[in-house]
Every structure is written in structure tokens, then in C-alpha cells.
Structure 1
Amino acid sequence: MVDERRSYFRVDDMAWVLTAQWNPDQASAVEYFPELRQTTILHALDAVDVELKKLDKAMDSKPTAMYARTLNQKIDIFRQALLIQQLSQLDSRPIRITISEGGLGFMSDFAYTVGSHIAMALVFSPSYMAIFPQAEILECRPVDNGFYLHVAFVDMPESMRQQLARHLLVQQTLLRQQHK
């Protein structure tokens, strides 16, 4: 497992991180976080976003393509506004995480058993991109003010993996620009 984790590029990032013990009877990680229940709307908006991007590439007319891009931006703003509203109602703030396509490391108020599975809600700051992966606990060690968790993503749907990969690519590009 360690070799797999090391095959991904890791970045430091900021995100709201919510966790819950995995229950095999709950099919989707989204179900674990009722405080973020509007995210089902966000996932529907993401699906529309993907369709608009496909249509944008197929459009011959520049004005029509610009209209589709503008509509897509409007959907993105609406999606972010919904998430901002939901996150403001939580009693938490974004935390520093180290993340890759394979998993992440972060500070938690809760201890979990190594080998157990958790549902996660990750909302990145400041992009407000949200994913809801299932993860396996690889490490849980006590530290000042909580626990350091190291987790590996499990059974991540391809669409979620691609969304995360795009986010990490943007973060890598920003990091390179900052170092120049």
C-alpha cells in the first residue's frame, strides 16, 4: 500500500474535512453528511457542467459557444454560493491537508481504528470543489489537540477521481508559479 501512495504527486492544500464511520448499508458517502444535503444539487449541476463543456467543443458559432461558457460560469457561481451557505452553518473551518489521488493526511478530532473505513466530505478552499470519497484508515496517531489521520481512498468513482486530478493539477500549477 505504501508504494501505491508514493506513486501519486502530493500537494498541500486547504479543505473542510468531515468524516464518519463507514456503514456498508449506506451506499453513498453523501448520505453521511446531512448538513451538506444540498450537495446532491451540486452534483446535478456538475453533470450539467460536463454536458455544457462537451457542447462547447462541438459548437460552430462563436456567439453560441460564448453563451454556453457564460452559462457554465453562472452554474459555477451558483454551485459555489450553495456550498458557501452550507459551510457557513458548520462549526468548522478549512484545515491544512496533504492530498494526492491516492489519499490524504490531516488532523482530526476523532480517532479511528487502522484498517477501518470512513466516509468523507472534502470541500476545498477557496475553490469550493467538493468530493465525497470512501477511505481506509492507514494511520491514526495521537498528536497535540487531536489525531493525525492518514487515509487511502477506496472505490473512488472515475468521475470523482478525474475531478480530484484536475484540482490537484491546478494546485500544482499554482505551486510552480509561486516558486518562480
Structure 2
Amino acid sequence: MNQERRQYFRINGKVALDYKIITIQEMKHSRLPSQFEVSPFFMLLTELQDLSQDSSYQLRKISQKEPAIASYLENLGARINAVAQAVAKSDVEFDNLSTHEINLSEGGLSFSNDVAIELGSYLALKIVFEENLTGLLLYGRVLYCGLADEKGYKIGVEFTDMPESSRMIVARHILSCQARDLQKQDNDN
């Protein structure tokens, strides 16, 4: 197992996940998978999070000099996100996606599957984090496939050619889940 992959923080959780086995030529054809039909709203929250991340530095600078303006801009951003979530929630079709228990890091994911997938296979992945309806389209390569139990296989996938913006979304999701788990532990104690 690649030692660098083990350096990432990992979480367990549920996501809506779809995959398609593709060729390396298909992967090289486009930066993001085009094997899935997605509406314009699928990536809306992802794009908004990217823009929010890009503007967070400027917002911090503004807040040092003009806290009232910074507060107004944060409020405006929250409104835009609320509208975008409502639109995305009404548009995302969870019926077409199966929910999987996964183990996720910035470097890849593992999930249980009914059928084996050949080692080295390339996958187009569609992932939806149901908590915030953020969607990702990514490529991956199967690193391992082993019998998990009598019902299925454990598939390990390494993300390949992952855009930085997608890596940041995965990182934020992991941090958010870890913070939620810590808060839950504190409340239980």
C-alpha cells in the first residue's frame, strides 16, 4: 500500500455513490468524468463552495478594517448558499444513486460492492455528500478488491488527476465530519 496515501485523515460515513468502469483513454479525454448525466444544479453547491473558499481570504481582510461590511457579506453568502441548497435538494435524484458506507480520505475511498472490480481498473465516480448535497465527479483507479463477506467485496480506489477544488471539498467534508464526531463525543460525556 502506498505510504503517502496513509498520511491522509480518514473517516467512515455514508455517501450516494455511482461508478462506471472506463478506459484510460476515456479518463485522459476530459478533466472531469462525462459518463454521468448531471443537471446544471448538480455541481452548483460545489462551485459555490469553491467561490466561497476563494473569497475567504479577502473577507478576512475586509473584516479587519470593516467588520460591518464583512458581516453583511457573510450574511449575503449564507443567503446564496441557502437558495442554492434548496434548488440542489429539489433537483438531486438520490433514487438513481445507491448509498454506500465508505472510508474516505483526500487520496481515495473504499466501499463495499456486490460485484468484484478488476485491480487496476479505472473508474468514473459520482459522489454526493447527502448532508450538504455537494456533488463531485472524479476519476479513480482500483487498488484492491477483496472478498469482504459472503455478500460482497471491499473495493479500494485511489483518486487520480483530482482537481484541487475537489480535494478541498473532500478535505472540508472530512474536517466537518470529524468536528461533528468530536462534538457528539463531548455531548455524550
TM class, shorter-length? 0.7 to 0.9
- Residues 1:39 and 2:42 are matched in the alignment: yes
Aligned length: 180
Identity, in percent, stands at 26
Q: 1:160 aligns with which of 163, 166, 172?
A: 166
AA aligned opposite 1:175? D
Residue number in structure 1 paired with 2:8: 8
Q: 1:169 aligns with which of 175, 181, 184?
A: 175
Separation of aligned partners in 1, 2:58 and 2:172: 20
- Alignment RMSD: 2.5
Separation of aligned partners in 2, 1:166 and 1:42: 13
1:116 and 1:136 in contact (8 A); partners too: yes
Separation of aligned partners in 2, 1:152 and 1:88: 26
Give the CA deviation at 1:48.
3.4
Instruction: After superposing the two structures, state which structure 1 stretch, 108-117 or 35-44, moved more.
Output: 35-44
Separation of aligned partners in 2, 1:159 and 1:117: 21
Instruction: After superposing the two structures, state which structure 1 stretch, 116-125 or 60-69, moved more.
Output: 60-69
**Residue segments in structure 2 that go unaligned for 5+ positions in a row:** none
Structure number with bigger Rg: 2
Separation of aligned partners in 2, 1:98 and 1:36: 27
> TM-score scaled by structure 1?
0.83
Residue number in structure 2 paired with 1:49: 52
Instruction: After superposing the two structures, state which structure 1 stretch, 138-147 or 62-71, moved more.
Output: 138-147
1:119 and 1:135 in contact (8 A); partners too: yes
Please give the per-residue CA displacement for 1:151-172, whole angstroms capped at 9, x wherever unaligned: 0111212222122112211211
When residues 57 and 122 of structure 1 are mapped into structure 2, their CA distance, relative to the original with a 3 A threshold, is same
> TM-score scaled by structure 2?
0.79
Give the CA deviation at 1:117.
1.1
Separation of aligned partners in 2, 1:161 and 1:144: 34
Give the CA deviation at 1:67.
1.7
**Residue segments in structure 1 that go unaligned for 5+ positions in a row:** none
